[in-house]
Amino acid sequence: MVLRPPVAPMLAQAAEAIPRTRPGAGVAYEQKFDGHRALLFTPPVPGGPALIQTRRGSMVQDRFPDLVAAALEQLPPGLVLDGELLVWDPEAGALSFEALQRRAAARARGAAALAARIPAYFLAFDVLQLDGVETMGLPYRERRRRLEVLFSARALTAPWTLCPMTTDLATAQDWLETWTDVSGVEGLVIKPLTSKYLPNTRGWTKVRRRDTTEAVIGAVTGTLARPQLLLLGRYDQDGRLRAVGRTVALRPNAARQVAERLTASASASASGHPWTGAVFSAAWGSRDVLDVTLVRPDLVAEVRADRAVDHGGIFRHPLRFQRLRPDVAPEDVPGFGAGAAAASG
């Protein structure tokens, strides 16, 4: 049976640290890159179109004509790959999520011009079909072997990249601690060697590197007595408080700790607050809007953040509140654009 889109990809459950595995339970550790999850389909027979499907099932091959052309030229028919779309920004000398967003949002007319300036890459980490034969029922160990054979037999190079993988825990820990300093690598995905590919099932584990840093509390959801989320900011070079992200829901003890020190903005209209009139989305890229209460921006929070940070300094994933830092003044917080790696100490 030939696979045709949409195919629901297998998913990963988030974890805060590399899980312990029982003796003899083999697992693979793959580098997790900051890209767009995608499935790539080559035509069952030569002459048909190559297709690119997003995690949510949308078809975006018209946005990536460079990958489509390369797939028809270099890949065999009847192939389905699972992986990440990535874009290298030559000016920044690094992988760029913002450039990837521009590629993903491009219309047909502008897609070719963008592809010439900022080409896309496909980082493959699984094969769901090879030579027209479905492989999802095979264990990960065998699927990975076939993927490696595909890359070596066809001498595949850019725009095709084989995701780095190891079965050595020490190597994986080194990747998590040091490779995440390299732009674009944000953590690990951990996969049992014997696992089948199960669409829409969280059978893998993902671990993002998180660093401790500080930000200024500028607003909350909920009430001042019972805050739920913290809206955080950092000052830019012009002295403006810029929103950089929000926390996950506070635990009861943390909410009480924060509530004891929160102060409402100076007036009912909050006209003197730097975020007066600002609109905050419920999640990165979401159109849903949060109902927030502005507070006096004189309280600093210590948070844990992963490496998914836009070049402008905005955290794309929610932050984990650690504690208040009454010993740190707002002006001593890392500046806007510093990302997660910087901390005031």
Q: Which CATH number among 3.90.1200.10, 1.10.150.240, 3.30.1330.10, 2.40.50.140 corresponds to the domain 211-332?
A: 2.40.50.140
Quick count: other Cβ atoms within 10 Å of Cβ 329? 12
CA distance 337 to 5: 39
Report residue 120 CA to chain centroid gap: 17
What does the pLDDT average to over 88-114?
Answer: 84
What does the pLDDT average to over 120-143?
Answer: 97
What does the pLDDT average to over 306-319?
Answer: 82
pLDDT, tens only, 318-343: 999 988 988 788 988 888 887 665 54
Checking if the pLDDT of 194 tops 50, the result is yes
Helix ranges restricted to H, the chain: 65-74, 97-105, 108-117, 140-153, 169-178, 252-259
Query: Which of 68-82, 236-250, 260-274 has the lowest average pLDDT?
Result: 260-274
Length of the chain: 345
User: What's the pLDDT score for residue 341?
Assistant: 57
Angle, CA 221 vertex, CA 219 and CA 226 arms, to 5°: 105
User: What's the pLDDT score for residue 22?
Assistant: 72
CA distance 194 to 8: 20
Same fold, 25-208 and 211-332: no
What does the pLDDT average to over 18-46?
Answer: 89
Checking if the pLDDT of 137 tops 70, the result is yes
- Tokens 């389905």 map to which residue? 80
User: What's the pLDDT score for residue 284?
Assistant: 61
Q: Higher model confidence: residue 94 or residue 84?
A: 84
| pLDDT range class, residue 268, cuts 50, 70, 90 | very low
β-sheet bridge partners, residue 214: 302
- Tokens 């930000």 map to which residue? 215
User: What's the pLDDT score for residue 185?
Assistant: 82
β-sheet bridge partners, residue 27: 192
CA distance 232 to 91: 29
Q: Higher model confidence: residue 335 or residue 125?
A: 125
Q: What is the DSSP letter of 9?
A: P
Query: Which of 43-57, 168-182, 186-200, 214-228 has the lowest average pLDDT?
Result: 168-182
Query: Which of 85-89, 165-169, 224-228, 308-312 has the lowest average pLDDT?
Result: 308-312
**pTM across the whole model:** 0.75
Q: Is 32 a catalytic residue?
A: yes
Checking if the pLDDT of 23 tops 80, the result is no
Checking if the pLDDT of 345 tops 50, the result is no
What does the pLDDT average to over 107-129?
Answer: 92
pLDDT, tens only, 292-307: 999 999 999 999 888 7
Contacts 24+ apart (CB under 8 A), 108-114: 108/62, 111/62, 111/63, 111/64, 111/65, 112/65
Question: How high is the mean pLDDT of the chain?
Answer: 89
258-260-217-186 Cα dihedral, nearest 10 degrees: -10
User: What's the pLDDT score for residue 299?
Assistant: 94
User: What's the pLDDT score for residue 286?
Assistant: 66
The answer to whether domain 25-208 has CATH 3.40.920.10 is: no
| pLDDT range class, residue 224, cuts 50, 70, 90 | very high
CA distance to 13, 24, 175, 215, 333, per residue, from 319 (Å): 17, 35, 22, 10, 16
Quick count: other Cβ atoms within 10 Å of Cβ 228? 14
Question: What ranges do the domains of the chain cover?
Answer: 25-208, 211-332
**Proportion of the chain above pLDDT 90, given as a percent:** 62
Candidates 32, 191, 196, 206; catalytic one: 32
Query: Which of 131-145, 154-168, 259-273 has the lowest average pLDDT?
Result: 259-273
**Proportion of the chain above pLDDT 70, given as a percent:** 93
